[in-house]
Amino acid sequence: MRLRTRIKLILQNLLGFENYQFYASRFIINRLRSIEVEADFVRFLDLIPAGGLILDVGANFGVMTVSLAKKAGTGKVYSFEPIPENSRVIKRLLKHYKLNNVTLYECAVGDKSGELKMVVPVIDHDKIPGLSHVVDDNNNDEGEFFTVPVKRLDDIPELKQADNIGAIKMDVENFEFEALTGAKELLLKHKPIIFCEIWNTEKSKATFNFLKNEIGYTINVLVDGKLVPYTNQDALNYFMIAP
C-alpha cells in the first residue's frame, strides 16, 4: 500500500469517512485552478455561457457542483448524485459555501427510469467513490453495493420546462451513452456545451456517433491549452460543442 493511501486511511479513521471527504473537497475547491489534473474542467468553466442552466451529472462529492454554482452566479445548477454518502457531503458543502442556486437530485441518470445497482469500489481497504459505477454483470466488482433510483433527463419536469440549458458536465463512469441518449430531446432543443469524461471502451464509439450524427456536435479535446478536433488522440475528457 502506498504511503499516500496509508495517510488517507489514517485520516479517514480519525475523522470518519464523510468528514474526511468534506474537508478534502473543500481543499480541492479552494485550489482548483492550480491543480494540473483539473485543467480540462477549468477550461470548461471558462467556456460556460452566462445565464443558462447548468447540469452536473455524476457530482461525486460536489467539488464541481460548487465550482459550477459559483460560475452560475444568479443562474441555477441541477446536480445529480446517487450514492447517499456522496450526497450528504454535497449538502454540507452547499451549506458551508452558502450556495442557494443548486438543486440536488439524489439519483442516477440513464436511458430509462427505474432502479440501478451501483458499486463503490474498495481497493486495499480504500473506498474510492470517484469510481462508483453501474454494476456490469460481466465484471466481478468488489466494494459497497447500492440500489439507487435512476431517471431520464428528458423526463424531469424542471428540465423540460427550462428556457436555456447552457452546459452539462458529465462523469458517470462508462454510463455516458445511456445518460446522453436519455437526454436526446434536451440536447436537440438546447445544444448545451458538454464536458464529459469518456472511457475508451466499446461504448465510446457509440457515444461519439450519437452526439455527432443525431445531435450535431463536434467532439474536441484540450491539447497544449487549445481546443482541437478529436482525431483519436489519447484523451479522457471531451468537449462537445454545437456549431
- The β-bridge partners of 195 are 169, 239
Q: What integer is the mean pLDDT of 193-209?
A: 92
Q: Helix %, strand %, coil % for the chain, to 5?
A: 40, 25, 30
Q: CA–CA distance from 240 to each of 210, 224, 243 (Å)? A: 12, 18, 10
Using a pLDDT cut of 70, give the percent of the chain over it. Answer: 96
Question: Does position 199 have pLDDT exceeding 90, yes or no?
Answer: no
Angle (CA) 183 186 187, round 5°: 80
Window from 28-32, 41-45, 139-143 with minimum mean pLDDT: 139-143
Question: Does position 100 have pLDDT exceeding 70, yes or no?
Answer: yes
Q: What is the pLDDT of residues 225-235, one digit of tens each?
A: 899 999 988 89
Q: Which three cell numbers stand for residue 225?
A: 491549452
Residue of 220, 165, 170 lying closest to 53 (CA atoms): 165
Q: Which three cell numbers stand for residue 41?
A: 474542467
Q: What is the pTM of this model?
A: 0.92
Q: What's the sign of the alpha-carbon dihedral 234, 235, 239, 242?
A: positive
Q: What is the pLDDT of residues 109-135, one digit of tens each?
A: 999 999 999 888 787 777 777 778 788
CATH code for the part of the protein at 3-241: 3.40.50.150
Classify strands 114-123 and 143-151 as parallel, antiparallel or unpaired: antiparallel
What does the mean pLDDT of the chain come to? 91
Domain boundaries along the sequence of the chain: 3-241
